[in-house]
């Protein structure tokens, strides 16, 4: 997971998403908090449908704000793995929703406050009383960029899964927030 920050260039992220962002109306209301937007997208997609990727795909198909990337552009996000990628860019920033063929679901935010992403997600888990236990929290430097990885594991449900948050406070990070659900194998 940590390699995602290092595998992209800021130019790649922007070059893939900026044309989509240009299509978003500039007359929209004032920008919302990118951390809340990233966590909100993650909660209503990856987390809500963690037990059924078919329902997730149906939700994606019924959400006109998501625009599917052509396969060649999607490869920048998939890093050689199989899956699909959608843009969720809005006035709050550049976001991507990635669904890998192994049912890993990821939301990426080019810019979002690392502390806010962590706080908003942990508050959501507490408020909704989700069966998620925090089992890991580590900080490290990868190519001189600070990264924090928080891991939660489900303790109940039809399938067990992990939630991984990877954030960076560095303005040089290629992605400042990455939130994923993945089957707990």
126, part of any domain: yes
Residues 6+ away with beta carbon under 8 Å from 64: none
The total domain count for the chain is 1
- Stated length of the chain: 185
As a whole number of angstroms, the distance between CA 158 and CA 128 comes to 18
Query: Per-residue confidence at 75, pLDDT binned at 50, 70, 90?
Result: very high
Alpha carbon distances (Å) from 142 to 18, 166, 168: 26, 12, 10
Range of the domain at 88: 3-22+32-183
DSSP 8-state class, residue 23: T
As a whole number of angstroms, the distance between CA 3 and CA 129 comes to 31
As a whole number of angstroms, the distance between CA 48 and CA 61 comes to 15
pLDDT in tens, 114-162: 999 999 999 999 999 999 999 999 999 988 899 999 999 999 888 899 9
27, part of any domain: no
């Amino acid at each position: 997971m940590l390699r995602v920050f290092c595998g992209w260039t800021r130019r790649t992220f922007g070059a893939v998403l900026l044309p989509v962002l240009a299509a978003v109306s500039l007359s929209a209301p004032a920008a919302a908090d990118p951390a809340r937007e990233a966590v909100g997208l993650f909660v209503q997609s990856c987390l809500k449908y963690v037990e059924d990727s078919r329902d997730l795909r149906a939700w994606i198909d019924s959400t006109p704000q998501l625009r599917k990337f052509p396969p060649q552009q999607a490869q920048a996000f998939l890093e050689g793995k199989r899956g699909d990628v959608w843009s969720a860019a809005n006035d709050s920033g550049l976001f991507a929703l990635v669904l890998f063929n192994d049912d890993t679901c990821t939301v990426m935010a080019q810019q979002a406050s690392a502390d806010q992403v962590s706080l908003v997600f942990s508050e959501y888990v507490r408020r909704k009383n989700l069966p998620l236990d925090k089992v890991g929290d580590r900080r490290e430097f990868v190519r001189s960029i600070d990264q924090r990885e928080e891991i939660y594991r489900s303790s109940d449900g039809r399938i067990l899964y992990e939630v991984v948050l990877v954030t960076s406070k560095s303005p040089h990070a290629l992605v400042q927030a990455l939130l994923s659900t993945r089957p707990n194998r």
